[in-house]
């Protein structure tokens, strides 16, 4: 991607993705969050930290049943105790899963389907940016395994459960970073050229948007959305992009601001009626801040590329 495009992207980000960008957009937000979600269940990956934790807290406060899918037991239990304590909601459950371990994700999702009669909302939030090329037990590159394959396997496996649940929704936390990458289906494992973790992450986030469009077409009963939380002050940013974190300082959004659109997509009645599914049929839409106020539409990709990605995901899975 050209330097010019990256510069435009960054300038746009300074305007829209920061705390100030959020505050400016928030003036017009129609929250529509005066809802009780007691009895509805929400699965959130990476729910012990950052945006995922703020989302889990907000949903627990509304009375929803929260399934926290986390990698580290101690951190997950600490977060759960805090969420239960602050929200007063005890319907908060921890599941230990490493989203980068493809087979374990599939085993977890299969077991969940057998144990629970319904799942109303799946929030694919866990994500990583690994700067050195590493592989998982199935020899899949770590960023791809976590950000794309883990999301794909979890969602795809849970779709039958979501389909038989009331008002089912799937929300995937992508990133505005995907705007600097076109979909490349010929090197999903980042094996050619020099390995650039930031660009691999951006490519994965692009893949999440493409997958969402594909799912929305295939499963119209489920409301699929994919969004960008803005630039948010979280451990992921401070550890994976320390210079950016330092440079942005208090211009970064709070975790609650970052979670705002996810919570709206998960809870509000308006979220499911705002976008006719035909939007997703013809365009790839990435949503920032709040769907109503500021969505960005990206150029459509050809169907052959979608099919190619799905085919490659299946193919990669079958070979491991
Ligand atoms: N913070 C930002 O500015 C920003 C911008 C755009 C997109 N995002 C996206 O937001 C999402 C949440 O990130 P965050 O900023 O809150 O960071 P964070 O580090 O606070 O949270 C990331 C969560 O994902 C979990 N996770 C990572 N790898 C995992 C794995 N293999 N298995 C299970 N869990 C795993 C972490 O344990 C953590 O709970 C990510 O998908 C990220 O890409 C963040």
Structure tokens at 205: 């986030």
CATH code for the domain in which residue 231 is found = 3.40.50.720
Q: Is the CB of 22 under 6 A from ligand 1?
A: no
Give Cβ neighbours of residue 122 (< 8 Å, ≥ 6 apart). 42, 43, 154, 155, 158, 162, 169, 170, 171
**CA 127 – ligand 1 centroid, Å:** 4
User: Is 300's pLDDT higher than 50?
Assistant: no
Q: Is the CB of 101 under 6 A from ligand 1?
A: no
Q: Is the CB of 50 under 6 A from ligand 1?
A: yes
SS3 helix, strand, coil % of the chain, rounded to 5? 55, 15, 35
Q: Report the number of distinct structural domains present in the chain.
A: 1
| CA angle (203, 240, 139) in 5-degree steps | 55
pLDDT for 187-208, tens place per residue? 999 999 999 999 999 999 999 9
pLDDT of residue 290: 31
Catalytic: 201? yes
- pTM, two decimals, is 0.90
**CA 236 – ligand 1 centroid, Å:** 6
Half-sphere exposure of 161 (CA within 13 A, CB side): 23
Structure tokens at 280: 């997703």
Residues 224-229 have a mean pLDDT of 96
Nearest C-alpha neighbor of 121 from the set 50, 169, 190, 185: 169
Are 224 and 216 in contact, with CB atoms under 8 Å apart? Answer: yes
Are 216 and 209 in contact, with CB atoms under 8 Å apart? Answer: no
Q: What are phi and psi of 42, to 5 degrees?
A: -130, 125
User: Is 116's pLDDT higher than 90?
Assistant: yes
**CA 173 – ligand 1 centroid, Å:** 9
Residue nearest to atom 39 of ligand 1 (CA): 46
Give Cβ neighbours of residue 258 (< 8 Å, ≥ 6 apart). 50, 51, 54, 229, 230, 232, 234
Q: Which of 4, 201, 219, 311 is catalytic?
A: 201
**CA 304 – ligand 1 centroid, Å:** 30
* Residues counted in the chain: 320
pLDDT of residue 28: 83
Q: Is the CB of 125 under 6 A from ligand 1?
A: yes
Q: Is the CB of 84 under 6 A from ligand 1?
A: no
Counting from 1 in the atom list of ligand 1, the atom nearest the Cα of 236 is 19
Least confident of 9-13, 202-206, 276-280: 276-280
pLDDT of residue 293: 29
Q: Which domain covers residue 51, as residue numbers? A: 3-318
pLDDT of residue 6: 81
User: Is 250's pLDDT higher than 60?
Assistant: yes
């Amino acid at each position: 991607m050209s330097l010019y495009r990256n510069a435009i992207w960054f300038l746009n980000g300074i305007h829209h993705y920061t705390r100030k960008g959020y505050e400016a957009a928030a003036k017009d937000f129609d929250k529509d969050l005066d809802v009780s979600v007691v009895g509805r269940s929400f699965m959130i990956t990476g729910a012990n930290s950052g945006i995922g934790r703020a989302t889990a807290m907000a949903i627990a406060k509304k009375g929803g049943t929260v399934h926290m899918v986390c990698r580290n037991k101690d951190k997950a239990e600490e977060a759960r105790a805090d969420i239960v304590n602050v929200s007063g909601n005890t319907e908060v459950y921890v599941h230990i899963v490493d989203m980068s371990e493809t087979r374990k994700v599939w085993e977890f999702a299969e077991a969940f389907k057998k144990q629970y009669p319904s799942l109303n909302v799946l929030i694919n939030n866990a994500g990583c940016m690994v700067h050195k090329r590493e592989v998982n037990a199935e020899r899949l590159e770590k960023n791809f395994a976590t950000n794309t394959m883990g999301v794909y396997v979890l969602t795809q496996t849970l779709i039958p459960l979501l389909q038989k649940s009331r008002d089912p929704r799937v929300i995937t936390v992508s990133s505005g970073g995907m705007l600097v990458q076109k979909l490349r289906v010929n090197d999903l494992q980042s094996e050619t050229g020099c390995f650039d973790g930031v660009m691999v992450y951006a490519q994965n986030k692009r893949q999440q948007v493409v997958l969402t469009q594909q799912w929305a077409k295939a499963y119209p009963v489920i409301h699929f959305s994919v969004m960008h939380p803005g630039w948010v002050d979280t451990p992921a940013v401070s550890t994976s992009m320390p210079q950016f974190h330092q440079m942005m300082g208090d211009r970064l959004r709070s975790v609650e601001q970052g979670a705002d659109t996810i919570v709206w997509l998960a809870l509000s009645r308006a979220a499911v009626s705002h976008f006719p599914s035909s939007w997703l049929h013809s365009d790839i839409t990435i949503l920032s801040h709040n769907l109503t106020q500021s969505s960005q539409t990206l150029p459509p990709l050809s169907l052959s590329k979608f099919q190619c990605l799905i085919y490659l995901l299946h193919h990669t899975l079958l070979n491991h």
